[in-house]
């Protein structure tokens, strides 16, 4: 039987999600809702198999292997796994300079 992890969203990740949805909602509330459901479903999947996500390549090349990611194109859901909790750290748009955003967000948090 697989271990079940708690999910905990950091303030940073919640802010990222609200920002993404707020931007999209201006043009289409329906699409914003669809994206919300897509991201939430993907995040919940990490609860059962948290190590299925890949180590974040931009951080791995810096020797940081603590963080993993799930892709819901074009968004990258960054998380780390604790003893019994999966911490959602950030949600980033992969069309931006992800390396710079990651270092800023994760080093602050």
**pLDDT tens, residue by residue, 13-41:** 999 999 999 999 999 999 999 999 999 99
Which is it for the CA torsion 71, 77, 78, 79, positive or negative?
negative
In a domain, residue 1? The reply is: no
Helix (H) or strand (E) holding 40, with range, is helix 29-45
In a domain, residue 65? The reply is: yes
Domain extent, residue 47, equals 6-108
CA distance 38 to 42: 6
List of residues 6+ apart from 100 with CB closer than 8 A: none
Mean model confidence pLDDT for the chain: 87
In a domain, residue 45? The reply is: yes
pLDDT digits (tens, 9 = 90+) for 35-81: 999 999 998 877 667 888 899 998 898 898 999 999 999 999 999 99
Residue 105: what pLDDT? Answer: 67
In a domain, residue 26? The reply is: yes
Residue whose C-alpha is closest to residue 11's, from 95, 70, 91, 102: 91
Domain count, the chain: 1
Helix (H) or strand (E) holding 7, with range, is strand 6-9
pTM of the predicted structure, to 2 decimals: 0.85
In a domain, residue 67? The reply is: yes
Residue 4: what pLDDT? Answer: 80
């Amino acid at each position: 039987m697989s271990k079940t992890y708690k999910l905990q969203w950091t303030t940073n990740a919640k802010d990222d999600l609200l920002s993404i949805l707020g931007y999209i909602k201006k043009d289409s509330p329906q699409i914003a809702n669809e994206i919300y459901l897509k991201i939430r479903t993907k995040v919940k999947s990490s609860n059962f198999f948290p190590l299925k996500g890949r180590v974040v390549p931009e951080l791995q090349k810096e020797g940081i292997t603590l963080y993993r990611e799930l892709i819901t194109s074009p968004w990258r859901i960054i998380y780390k796994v604790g003893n019994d909790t999966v911490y959602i750290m950030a949600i980033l748009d992969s069309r931006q300079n992800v390396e710079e955003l990651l270092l800023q967000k994760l080093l602050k948090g």
